[in-house]
Structure 1
């Protein structure tokens, strides 16, 4: 059974879902919404209380000012407010992509609220040796969005991320049919107000290593050619912890939710 709720947060309203029973674990992305984490949440709900949410400005989470940029810090404060609403002093957190960046900001801004953070492929471009080039590429993606629209921006984004966008065997399959109004709105939000704030975030390494939270860096076992594999290894090196493999690539939790859930259980138990 899934319970849906809405929480008032600073400058907006946060949509979230609760399912299952047991130790509390939060699953989150950015811009991925609660729906994308549904299969993984269902797979974990037999022995966990699982909470998913739509990040601010995405899907069912609305903003008082739709032009407000989304930053990891703002999203981290939203998650802390969500923990308060759940009467939870702390929780385990699985964050993927931009959600992993949110999780890193949460650990630093709200010490003690996270028991274990599994940061799955955070796109921390500033940690790379070629950071200036990669950040310029992110700027170019946003410029492409403003000139040519969502489709062209996604093609450039996926290509820069390391995915095969030329139609080869490894090319990600496009969703069937035309994108929905919600998908278009979420993509517009991502390129106009979220991508740069997330990719430019540089975690406070000293703070991350000083807190009680255990930080686990996750990399997909088929993500070797992706830029997020590089950023994940760079983070793991800086916090002096070996990266942990998870099934699939950057979106492995959507493609293999049962296998991914079992691996996540193992990591949280270890």
Structure 2
């Protein structure tokens, strides 16, 4: 696969400097993660850049997007404001914004507060625990896993995270992912996520009435392999509240990194259905 050349830049926004990348030409598509950075979307961005302008970014406080106050929490509305400024800055919008995981919460907040910046948002597996009936139990579990991480038990925190998310991994996978010598930047981003982003994202409640009344189309996207996982339940709860059907994508929670080719094929089908 030929790698599309990317133009990189930095945009100053309130309290932060955002690293962003632009590829290709054509209608604007933005790929949004939280805490995933622009690098996580590179293979998918290269595939779409053949006939789209593709915007990716490191969210505030992650990797190449430093914040003025490291103790400031990262919330979906705050990140949505950043995304709106980026879309305006690249001057190729309005966009179709695909957000995955915490980034899905970001694009939902974008649709609520900045509807003019997006024709549609594709919320791929948002961890909207606040929409679920067991939200109080999930809230306690999240508090516990954050406390476990901040006490220094990284592996214990990840085990609790996977258990609460209902994600099953092969034996030894956690050790491969989070054990041994690790990249310092990855560790710094991970700590920020646990300390200043996870809770604020998972327990943000979208304004369903505003989303239903707004001019931005909302697609609630879920992986075919995610059945029964927390994000599957949350996405289906979102779809039910909005009165829409969930849109299935191949793979699981991080399918866009594991099978970007298959994900891109399905994404093109969804994009073709958006006016």
Specify if TM > 0.5: yes
Q: Residue 90 of structure 1 aligns with which residue?
A: 94
- The match for 1:259 among 257, 262, 268 is 262
Q: Summarize the Cα distance change of 1:54–1:175 in structure 2 as closer, same or farther, 3 Å threshold.
A: same
Q: Residue 244 of structure 1 aligns with which residue?
A: 247
Q: Summarize the Cα distance change of 1:15–1:142 in structure 2 as closer, same or farther, 3 Å threshold.
A: same
Q: CA deviation at 1:222?
A: 0.4
Q: CA deviation at 1:172?
A: 6.8
Q: Summarize the Cα distance change of 1:46–1:166 in structure 2 as closer, same or farther, 3 Å threshold.
A: closer
Indicate whether 1:212 and 2:231 are aligned.
no
Equivalents in 1 of 2:155, 2:7: separation in Å? 34
Q: CA deviation at 1:3?
A: 1.0
- Greater shift, 18-27 or 109-118, is seen at 109-118
Aligned length: 268
Equivalents in 1 of 2:131, 2:155: separation in Å? 28
Q: CA deviation at 1:263?
A: 0.7
Indicate whether 1:186 and 2:189 are aligned.
yes
- Greater shift, 155-164 or 188-197, is seen at 155-164
Q: CA deviation at 1:262?
A: 1.3
5 Å-filtered alignment, 1:26-175, equals 26-165=30-169, 167=171, 174-175=176-177
Q: Is the CA contact 1:220–1:245 (under 8 Å) kept in the aligned structure 2? A: yes
Q: Summarize the Cα distance change of 1:45–1:173 in structure 2 as closer, same or farther, 3 Å threshold.
A: farther
- Greater shift, 83-92 or 26-35, is seen at 83-92
Q: CA deviation at 1:165?
A: 4.6
Q: CA deviation at 1:136?
A: 1.2
Equivalents in 2 of 1:107, 1:172: separation in Å? 35
Q: CA RMSD in A?
A: 1.6
- Greater shift, 155-164 or 91-100, is seen at 155-164
Q: Residue 198 of structure 2 aligns with which residue?
A: 195
Equivalents in 2 of 1:58, 1:118: separation in Å? 22
Equivalents in 1 of 2:234, 2:181: separation in Å? 32
Equivalents in 1 of 2:156, 2:19: separation in Å? 29
Q: Summarize the Cα distance change of 1:6–1:149 in structure 2 as closer, same or farther, 3 Å threshold.
A: farther
SS of 2:91's partner is coil
Query: How far does the alpha carbon of each residue in 1:154-213 deviate from its partner, in whole angstroms, 9 at most, with x for none?
Result: 222122111225718xx6783496320011000000001000100010000000000111
Structure 1 length-normalised TM: 0.95
Q: Summarize the Cα distance change of 1:173–1:48 in structure 2 as closer, same or farther, 3 Å threshold.
A: farther
Q: Summarize the Cα distance change of 1:89–1:51 in structure 2 as closer, same or farther, 3 Å threshold.
A: closer
Structure 1: stretches of 5+ with no match in the other structure: none
Equivalents in 1 of 2:190, 2:154: separation in Å? 7
The runs of at least 4 consecutive aligned structure 1 residues that moved more than 6 Å come to none
Structure 2: stretches of 5+ with no match in the other structure: none
Equivalents in 2 of 1:89, 1:222: separation in Å? 32
Q: Residue 226 of structure 1 aligns with which residue?
A: 229
Structure 2 length-normalised TM: 0.94
